[in-house]
Amino acid sequence: MQQTTEEALRTKMIDLLLANAMKCIFQASHSRDQFHCIRQSQITDDSGEQLNNMLVSAITIAGTDFNIQLGICWQTENMKILISEGINRKVTDVNFSVATGFMGELCNAIAGAIKADIAVHDIKLKLGLPEHQGQFSSEKWEWDLLWEMCVQKGGVYCFFNIDNWNSPELGKLLSTQAMDTQDEGEIEFL
């Protein structure tokens, strides 16, 4: 059975977004544990309760006619060990400021990797600045794609929202071959 164009684009985006998010999160954790990535429909705990006590760090990747919102939901306590390993500091040195800075840089790394992968299809993108958005609220945040990514010591929820799936620019991912060389230009910020 052949995929529709919409299904093919969703599959391409899932591959691209998930591969970059997993790679960056696993590298940042410096973990040697087994890494789990589970697609989710909502942000809940083991009992199914909404996790409204999580924090959100987010960044926007802007195309000419579409935006990708990347968000990482996290909790300070379960991230302290992973962050301390990621930055080679004692767990007691990981305060709220260090944690929000680390999570912002993680958003930036994932967004930069996504931008690089999309740019080889001759699609121009700009990166926003990563921001700590405060406490997660299911009323505020929407997503098309959501994954729980974790090791034994803790993890995050990583979500993506694409505001225009019918974008001609986004459609280039299916209609063009990846360019052999990447533009070595400067990074553009929003």
Cα–Cα distance between 114 and 83 in angstroms, integer?
22
Q: How sure is the predictor about 178, in pLDDT bands with cuts at 50, 70 and 90?
A: low
The distance of Cα 4 from the centroid of its chain, to the nearest Å, equals: 26
Which pLDDT tens digit goes with each residue over 117-164? 999 999 999 999 999 988 887 778 888 888 888 766 667 889 999 999
Q: How far apart are CA 85 and CA 152, in angstroms?
A: 14
pLDDT for residue 120: 92
End-to-end CA distance of the chain: 41
E-strand spans in the chain?
Answer: 36-39, 55-62, 67-74, 126-127, 131-135, 145-151, 154-162
pLDDT digits (tens, 9 = 90+) for 43-87: 665 555 556 678 899 999 999 999 999 999 888 777 777 788 778
At residue 28, the pLDDT reads 75
Q: Which helix (H) or strand (E) holds 88?
A: none
Cβ-contact 71, 159 below 8 angstroms: yes
Domain boundaries, the chain: 5-175
Average pLDDT in the 160-184 region?
76
Report the pLDDT value the prediction gives residue 67, as an integer from 0 to 100.
96
Inter-residue contact 152 to 91 (CB < 8 Å): no
Percentage of residues in the chain having pLDDT higher than 90:
33
CATH topology of domain 5-175: Chemotaxis protein chec (3.40.1550)
